Amino acid sequence: MTPPLPGPALLAQRWLDVAFLHWRVAPERVAALLPAGVRPDLLDGETYVGLVSFRLLGAGFAHGPALLPPFVETNVRVYAVDAAGRRGVVFLSMDVSSAVMAASGRGVGLPYRWARAGHRVTGRDHEYVTLLPRRGSPRWRSRLTIRPEGTPTVGQDGDLADFLTARWALFMSRFGHTWHLRNTHEPWPLQTAEVTLLHDDLVPAAGFPEVAGRAPDHVAWSPGVSARFGSPTP
């Protein structure tokens, strides 16, 4: 069930054509990358790192027009829980094709980076490409082609899909504290999907070199949801 925000919605955006790729990783590897006060969130003793690519539309205030044109984002994320039992995403990198979004996101303490990124649909295939130009070092790339199968359903794939997608919050570090930022959106309509091409440097570069060249342990795709964000709380 989608939890309501504890206060008024401040920001809104839509996440469309969302590809979810996840790899099972050691909890102790995740723990070393988390902000203070949270620990890896586990399902049957296991946790995951995710590569999530999508189109973002309608970014702006909750009760106003969009302030930014559409852009493409690819993020690397892990899952955490705090002592109060609050669950959320911890972003290790957030690469976007909007320089304004990258700058404003960094300003509030999130790991945004500007990237050359795009999304293309060819028949049933969705292709996502991300390139981070780096002076004096190799360029980090992500290229993914995914083919959704069947029709979107809510609650598909049981506990694991719910664990990986039903988060409605994130944790972030700011001014020496860890903050919890809630969001709300309809439950994810998910489809099974086949990865037909994957070359990714972003997940290994975020701290998980052991997944390089390894097939994902879970793959899903969604046509998308509309999200609203509240205020961060300690």
Break the chain into its structural domains and give their ranges.
Answer: 11-220
Instruction: Tell if the pTM clears 0.75, that is, is over it.
Output: yes
CATH code 2.40.400.10 for 11-220: yes
pLDDT at 154: 83
- Decide: residue 58, CB within 10 A, 0-12 exposed, 13-18 middle, 19+ buried: middle
pLDDT at 158: 64
Which residue ranges of the chain lie beneath pLDDT 50? none
pLDDT at 18: 98
pLDDT at 155: 65
pLDDT at 200: 97
Phi-psi region for residue 213, left (φ > 0), alpha (ψ -120 to 50) or beta?
left
pLDDT at 189: 96
